[in-house]
Structures are given as structure tokens and as C-alpha cells.
A and B are shown apart, each in its own frame.
Chain A
């Protein structure tokens, strides 16, 4: 045995000196061990500077976790807005700092050598740094390319320099998304994900990582984009709930402002996403962690799970909406130019909007992350941000003749069977207001007026009624009121509310400083021109009201099975049965033999009124093509409105707007609960 083999030749020290020395040595040993541990640790720290940052962080840390947004469905449960996990490949810039510095030195050395006078060479540090960053990022992206591709055939992702520069400026502490979305149209992302996780290494020093993010997904793309709106990444402390939660946690755990992390969340920016944000976004959850010295989560001190937001069923019907948008997109003027426009289909009984379309539109999928300026500009250029159905302000043109007729009948200024002789024009004051065909229509009653849209009849009736009564009738039918305040669980939908409508009267003209009201103004108003401005949806609601013999239609965008028994407010239309019959017959014959011919569908009786209004477009006069109406004509169930902005004077109410209305009605008629039984 070791202790006994060989002679024991040691001299054993004794007493205090011995103990003192042991203490001294113990101290030395301790110092040695500390040096040792520090040395080993140092190497690790050198290899990943992230460790050092983690040491500096707070020991307690709170993470706020937004709930997943609720989904948005159409009235039948087809998904309009969903959530999906978006995978991005990110590069931790902190872990490649040394590589970037080395690259920077290399570039400077190379530039110095290439400079005409090396001693005078002064590097542009910022530019060199950016280049070094790009090179290092590309080097890592090439590793990803190799991993994602088959052996010998790497993928071909390139570093987006602009995005990198912007990231450095705005989001430097966060990993830079080398590939912002691994999903590529038409390809299963699983293969890419699988190749990434199996081909690339993991570990504390690996700068590449796969980052999941739950993002909004609009499977139908541009469909109903204006109604749905889009989401945007939420800024810290944006909502009242979040501020309150932060305050509470900070107090309870003594946390500083930088002890919070907020997981990526989204807030509604426009449309239904915005107005129902409180419902859709659910409840914020949180976790408070105690961290160990390496910055790793050690123990969970407190948590509350986030709750997913409530799902919402909109009143839209996916199939009708699709048909409406497709037809609007197909609208061309005589020169083949695609025209902007809008359309709506309204359930007359319940006021539910079955389709609300506006073209051109935008793809909300492009808007949920960081929006590219190019995309924003391209949509802006096309005028795609405006929801023309609710926010577009137009003169209603001949569709307003319904209001003039109602005003005439209600004020007893005209009878439904009264025949008025209508010439080629009417002299009002010292100006001739023309008919829209040369020669005029001759003897005209209410029905004929509606069939061929006789202007002179309206001038005469409008002048008989007077501007005040005419404007009063328009107001009675809701043309001056904001529209579309639907609600979900008591929260109103406000994003689609229209503003800026004008129903002019003498007082209005004076107020605006346009001088006194003239007879000519009355004549203009009677055919829906002049100062009058309204939105397509207002005209749709008005048509629905007229069809249902009432003055108001309470519109909504939210599906509600209980709406059947709803009272829409307002009052009865106030015309006799005979007058009503004449009105409906006129509108029905307008489709069968008059200006609304293109709206006609075999097997469905449709009542309609078209309009071709003049409006200024880019300094010149152009035509607005209108069509309003309802179906089936004898027992109205849906009302429609279409408004297309012509480029010049070659668009016409029937010819341009008619086919869009027909497409919507045809889609509605195909529905099992729709027109199928109405035919």
C-alpha cells in the first residue's frame, strides 16, 4: 500500500505554525481553483459574448404573451381570417460580432492595398461595416442554402441588404430574419423545416435559429380586404390592458422597464380587425421568471395563460363576395381600361350585408408584418386603400330619381298615373336643362320615367316639390346619416362608417358661401347631381328600404341568427299601394325593357334603376355608372348597389354596372338558402 511502502522519511511539523501554513495553503488552493474556473469560463465567454449580456440582465423577468387572435368567418363558417405559424430563419448578430469585426479588418486591408496612395487611405467605416455584416450574414445564409437544398444543389436565398440596414437601425438587439418566411407559395413548408432542423447544428454558439411567429393569415387573399382590414405588429404599451398589467407586475416583482419582454403580437389596424380588436385579440397572458446566472429561466414565479380571442362570424357570404369582386375586376370601359368600383348586396329583412366589395383592393397578408414601401406605394397608386362602397363619395345620378319620385308622391305634387309631357329639355331660369336623348320622351308617367329614366319629368317634379322638401325626403331616407354601425357583444363596428355625405338645401349652399339657391340647383338635385354626395352603400340601404316599404335599413356586417325579428327603425315609406305598385312595376320593367337590361337573369325577376352620373375625374368630366335594385321583384329579399368609376364619358349605368349586379344576384340565386327557392 502506498502509505506503508517505502520508508517514511517525512518530518512532521507541529503546533501553530503547521496550522497556519495549512490555512495559508488552503487560501492558495482556493485562489488556484478560482483562477482555474475563471480560465475555463473565460474561454466559453470568449466564444459567445451573449453569456456576458445575460449576466447583466435582471434576475427576475416578465414576459407578456398576447393571446392568439380569434378567427373571422363568413356567415357559413368559411374562414376569412386565420392564424398560422410563420417560420423564419434568424441570425443572432451578437454571436457573429467577432466574425464581422474580422471581416471588417480584412476589407479595410484589401481596400488599403488597392488604394492609389495606401498611406493616405481612409476607410469609410460605416460602409465597410455594412459590407462586412452583409458578407457574414450571407456566409451563414449560404449554410442555410446548403442545408435546405439537396446535396450539390443548394437553395439560393440572398441577404436583403435594405432589410439588414433597416434591422440594424431599428431592431439591433433582436436576431435578424435572414429568411423572413420559410413558406413558399405552393410548397409544403415541412420539408424546409425538417431539413433545417436536421442538417444544421444547435447549441449555444450556433447563431442560426428557427423562429416561430403566429401571424394572421387571410386564406382568400384580397377577398373582402376592405371589410376585414389588416393587422399590424403591436407597439409596446399600446393597449390599456398591457399598461395596466405592466404596472401591476412591476409593482409586485419590483421590475424595471427593461425587465419586460413582449412576444410579438398583432393589433387590428383597419376594418373589422380594428373595430373588433378588443374581441378578436383575446386576453394578454404573462409569466414572471427567475433566471439563473446564465440567464436561463430557472423557476416560474407567476403566470397567467393568454386566452385566444373570440371568433367572429361576419354577415358576408364568401360565394357572393367572390362573385361581386370577380365581376368588379372584370369591368372595363370602351378602351379596355379596368375601372375601379364598388358593390354591395344586402339582405332586406335583416339588414345583413352579404357582399361588400371595392376594387382595386390590397392583400392583407402583405400588411401583417413589416410592410414594404413598394407594396404600399403600388396599392396607393391604384387607389386600393379606399373602401369605395362605404367611403367613396359620389353624386348618385339617376338612382336619386327614386327619391325625387317619392318626394313628389308624398307631397302630392305628382300622381303616379299623371302623364307629364316631357320635351327635349326644360328651361329653368335662363338655362336649358337637357334630356339625355335628343328629341325627348314625350308623354311620361312615373312608370315610364323609371323605365327609361326621363330627366325632364324629374326637373318638373323637383321644381314642384321644392328644394327643402326634396332634401327632407333624402334625409328621411337616411342619406345624410352615418351608416353601418353594427355591433358584436355590444361593441360597435365603426371602421366602415361613412362620413362627408351632403344633402344640399338652400341653407347648405349659403353656409358654404356658394350664394343663394337657384331653380337650377333644384333641377340638378332632382336628378342626383349638383352638390349632392353619397356613398354606394347609402344608395344600397335606401334601395333596401324602398323595397321593404320603410325608410331605414339597419345594416350590419356581423352575422346574427336573431336578427330576423329586428325592427329597422324609421317609419313606413308613406305611399299608397297603387303608388308602390307603379314604383315596383317601373323598376321591374326597367330591367325587362329599359336601361337596366344587362341586370336581367333568367328565372329571377329583378327590379332595378340605373344611373349615369357626371363627376369630375382628373379635371375632366367622366361618367359614374350606377345600378341599384332588388330581387325577387315581387317579394324582395336582397337589395344591391353597384357603382363603377368611369375614366371618361364612355361608361353607362346599365352597360357598365349592370353585369356586376347580375353576377352578384346570380351567385346569390345559386345559394341553397338564397334565390334558389325564390325563383
Chain B
């Protein structure tokens, strides 16, 4: 081996050559390496997540019989209340279907829900990401919306065989249409706003932007206004909560509309489980991204 200096020179030269080769490597080649590394890591991530689940289960198993009995009783009560709700909702749904068929209104895309565990998560000043333990073999497709209960989490940004990456509702590049609570206009004339993620702010909770609020809009007094999905764009069903509008709206230059900031409805930093909504019919966004 030669002197360290010349060795460094050699390495740097090699590196520069590799870099040039990399830049001119066809996109497919680069995609291949990226996919390969994602796939190689998937089992270990999965293993890690499962181990954590196991630990959690073990922890729960350690709880005493009295504790379990109490929890079971609480659940039974909650269950009874929920069953009542389900019955109500079912009748509402059938009424809804009847009205819809009377109006010959287009049906929203139907979704199949897939429950997925969160395998890894990161939230730095520079990016936030979520890896879920469901992938191509479970039927997850790129662009599928991700929810937690009736709250919007984000959408699938990359799909691997066993895992997927989720782009959060606050990530730059996320965009969807929404209605705002407190917009007094009648149903058909409510003004639609756009919701989009924004560049992350250092060490702050992730937040997104609400744009094109009507100039006449003023938030309801006393409580933050909810931002909900419209169901018009084909990405989300209607009525899911995206977040709440933070106080303080900013007028756009020209004064034709206003912009605001929202806090996501789902606690993106402590989610353990999410639902992936897979449209039964493929949507255009799956090919257009």
C-alpha cells in the first residue's frame, strides 16, 4: 500500500468516477438498487415490529385477572354503545343509497380497508416518514389513502413487497380537496379549499396548509374549525377529518381568498396502527404519479 495521501487521492478519484457513472446510470438501474435495499431491509423491519408487538403482548399478559375483568367490562359497555351506533348508521346508509339511486348521483369509489401496523417512523426537522407492515402482496397500491379511524393520515408513497412508505398529510407533495366547518354556505355551494403539506419546520409538530379559503370565511367562534375531505376528488371518501384549522388566517395578495394552517387530526407521531383504503376500482392517480 502506498502513502496515505496518494491512497486518499486514489479513493477520491475512484469516488468521482463512480459518481459520474451513477449520474449517468439509467433511472431503472437506480430504481432497482433502491428497491433492492428496501426489500432487503423489509424482513428485519418486520421482525423488529413483530418483536415489539410480542413484548407488548407479553406485557399485557402480565396484567392481573382483576385488571382484565375490569377492561373486559369496559369494553362490553363500549361495545353495546357502538352496536347501537352501527344499527343507526346502517339505516342511514341504506337511506343514503336509496336517495343516491333516486338522484342518480355517481357513487363514490368503494374502498376495501386493510389494517396495517406501523413498522418504523421517523420525525426529524427534515422529514417525517412512516413505514407500514403491509405491501404489494397484501394488495397495497401506490397512492392509496391511509387513515386512522375517521382521520386522514396520508397516502402510500412507495410500495415494497411486504412494506410500504406512507407520505403524511403534512408532507410536501401531499394535496387534497377539503371542506371547512363553519362555511355557512348551503351544501351545494360550499366552497372547496385545498389542503397541502408544507416544508417541515425545525422541531415543530408537523402541520400543513389550507389554501383558497373564501374571502368571506370566518371560523366558528370558540372552537377550531374542522377540515374534512370532500369525497369529490376520488382519493378519499367524504367526511373524513383531515385536521383542525389553526387560528389566524392570512389574506392572500389581491384579497380574493385567504390561507391558513392546519394541525393534523391523527396524532401522526404516535400511531401504532393505520388503515389503508384500497379502491376496488383502480384510480387514475395510481398511474399518474
Interface residues of A (CB under 8 A from B): 21, 24-25, 28-29, 31-32, 35-36, 39, 42-43, 63, 65-68, 83, 85, 143, 146-147, 149-151, 188, 190-191, 193-203, 212, 214, 263, 285, 287, 305-308
Q: Does B222 contact A (CB under 8 A)?
A: no
Min CB gap A321→B, angstroms = 26
Whether B23 and A43, one on each chain, are in contact in the complex, defined by CB atoms closer than 8 angstroms, is: yes
With a CB–CB cut-off of 8 A, which chain B residues contact A263? Answer: 253-254
Q: Does B248 contact A (CB under 8 A)?
A: no
Cα(A147)–Cα(B274), bound, Å: 27
Q: Of residues 1 to 21 in B, which have CB atoms within 8 Å of A's CB atoms?
A: 4-5, 8-9, 12, 15-16, 19-20
Whether B284 and A201, one on each chain, are in contact in the complex, defined by CB atoms closer than 8 angstroms, is: no
The listed residue (A36, A65, A68, A194) touching B192 by CB distance below 8 A is A194
Q: Can you identify 11 A-B contacts, CB atoms within 8 angstroms? A: A25-B4, A32-B12, A35-B15, A35-B19, A65-B254, A83-B256, A151-B282, A194-B232, A199-B283, A199-B288, A202-B196
Cα(A43)–Cα(B19), bound, Å: 11
Whether B176 and A197, one on each chain, are in contact in the complex, defined by CB atoms closer than 8 angstroms, is: yes
Q: Give 5 nearest A-B pairs by CB, closest first.
A: A198-B233, A194-B233, A194-B232, A194-B177, A198-B235
Q: Of residues 147 to 204 in B, which have CB atoms within 8 Å of A's CB atoms?
A: 172-177, 188, 192, 194, 196
With a CB–CB cut-off of 8 A, which chain B residues contact A193? Answer: 177, 192
With a CB–CB cut-off of 8 A, which chain B residues contact A42? Answer: 23
Interface residues of B (CB under 8 A from A): 4-5, 8-9, 12, 15-16, 19-20, 22-23, 106, 109, 172-177, 188, 192, 194, 196, 212, 230, 232-236, 251, 253-257, 281-285, 287-289
The listed residue (B173, B196, B287) touching A146 by CB distance below 8 A is B287
Q: In the complex, what residue of chain B is closest to A190 when comparing beta carbons?
A: B192
> Would A36 and B19 be within 8 Å (CB), given that A67-B255, A212-B212 are in contact?
yes
With a CB–CB cut-off of 8 A, which chain A residues contact B8? Answer: 25, 28-29
Q: In the complex, what residue of chain A is closest to B253 when comparing beta carbons?
A: A65
With a CB–CB cut-off of 8 A, which chain B residues contact A214? Answer: 254, 256
Q: In the complex, what residue of chain B is closest to A146 when comparing beta carbons?
A: B284
Whether A31 and B254, one on each chain, are in contact in the complex, defined by CB atoms closer than 8 angstroms, is: no
Min CB gap B281→A, angstroms = 5
Among B172, B175, B212, which residue has the most Cβ atoms of chain A within 10 A? B175
With a CB–CB cut-off of 8 A, which chain B residues contact A68? Answer: 254-256
Whether B12 and A63, one on each chain, are in contact in the complex, defined by CB atoms closer than 8 angstroms, is: no
Whether B253 and A305, one on each chain, are in contact in the complex, defined by CB atoms closer than 8 angstroms, is: yes
Min CB gap A219→B, angstroms = 14
> Would A285 and B254 be within 8 Å (CB), given that A31-B12, A35-B16, A198-B177 are in contact?
yes
Q: In the complex, what residue of chain A is closest to B257 when comparing beta carbons?
A: A85
Among B172, B251, B281, B289, which residue has the most Cβ atoms of chain A within 10 A? B289
> Would A202 and B19 be within 8 Å (CB), given that A193-B192, A194-B233, A305-B253 are in contact?
no
Cα(A188)–Cα(B230), bound, Å: 13
With a CB–CB cut-off of 8 A, which chain B residues contact A307? Answer: 255
Cα(A355)–Cα(B119), bound, Å: 72
With a CB–CB cut-off of 8 A, which chain A residues contact B4? Answer: 21, 25
With a CB–CB cut-off of 8 A, which chain B residues contact A43? Answer: 23
Q: In the complex, what residue of chain A is closest to B215 when comparing beta carbons?
A: A68
With a CB–CB cut-off of 8 A, which chain A residues contact B234? Answer: 194-195, 198-199
With a CB–CB cut-off of 8 A, which chain A residues contact B257? Answer: 85, 212
Whether A28 and B12, one on each chain, are in contact in the complex, defined by CB atoms closer than 8 angstroms, is: yes
Min CB gap B16→A, angstroms = 5
With a CB–CB cut-off of 8 A, which chain B residues contact A199? Answer: 233-235, 283-285, 288
Cα(A67)–Cα(B4), bound, Å: 67
Cα(A25)–Cα(B5), bound, Å: 7
Cα(A221)–Cα(B19), bound, Å: 62
With a CB–CB cut-off of 8 A, which chain A residues contact B255? Answer: 67-68, 305-308
Whether B256 and A85, one on each chain, are in contact in the complex, defined by CB atoms closer than 8 angstroms, is: yes
Whether A66 and B254, one on each chain, are in contact in the complex, defined by CB atoms closer than 8 angstroms, is: yes
Min CB gap B29→A, angstroms = 13
Further 11 A-B residue pairs, CB within 8 A, beyond A24-B5, A198-B233, A287-B253: A39-B22, A83-B256, A194-B234, A195-B233, A196-B233, A197-B194, A197-B233, A200-B288, A212-B212, A212-B257, A263-B254
Whether A150 and B192, one on each chain, are in contact in the complex, defined by CB atoms closer than 8 angstroms, is: no
The listed residue (B212, B281, B288) touching A143 by CB distance below 8 A is B288
Min CB gap A566→B, angstroms = 35
With a CB–CB cut-off of 8 A, which chain B residues contact A29? Answer: 8
